[in-house]
Amino acid sequence: MELKSTLSRLYWLFCQFELITCSYLMEPWEKVLFYSFNLAMLGLLLYTTYVCLAFHTSSAFQLLCSFLGNPRGNSLSVVK
């Protein structure tokens, strides 16, 4: 019973998406292009977020380690 209500909810959300984007007016080949483009953009956004988040987390961790007394590649020691 739970699966049926979940599927009907997802179908309702998809219908809302089609109404908002007016994609229900498109021909099938146009829908394929439209949804492919949207999925590609979503994939690129998620990938970029993952890469940038990993880079910033790594940088923040290195900065935190240098503040706690474990300097790795401290630029001031190179200058002196």
Are the C-beta atoms of residues 24 and 18 closer than 8 Å to each other? yes
Q: Answer for the pair 66, 74: CB distance below 8 angstroms, yes or no.
A: yes
Residue 4 has what pLDDT? 86
- Residue bearing tokens 């987390």: 57
At residue 77, the pLDDT reads: 52
Residue ranges covered by each domain of the chain: 27-64
**pTM, 2 dp:** 0.59
Interval 26-72: pLDDT, tens: 999 999 999 999 999 999 999 999 988 888 888 888 888 888 875 55
Task: Give the pLDDT confidence score for residue 69 in this predicted structure.
Answer: 76
- 1 vs 55 pLDDT, higher one: 55
Tokens of 74: 């401290």
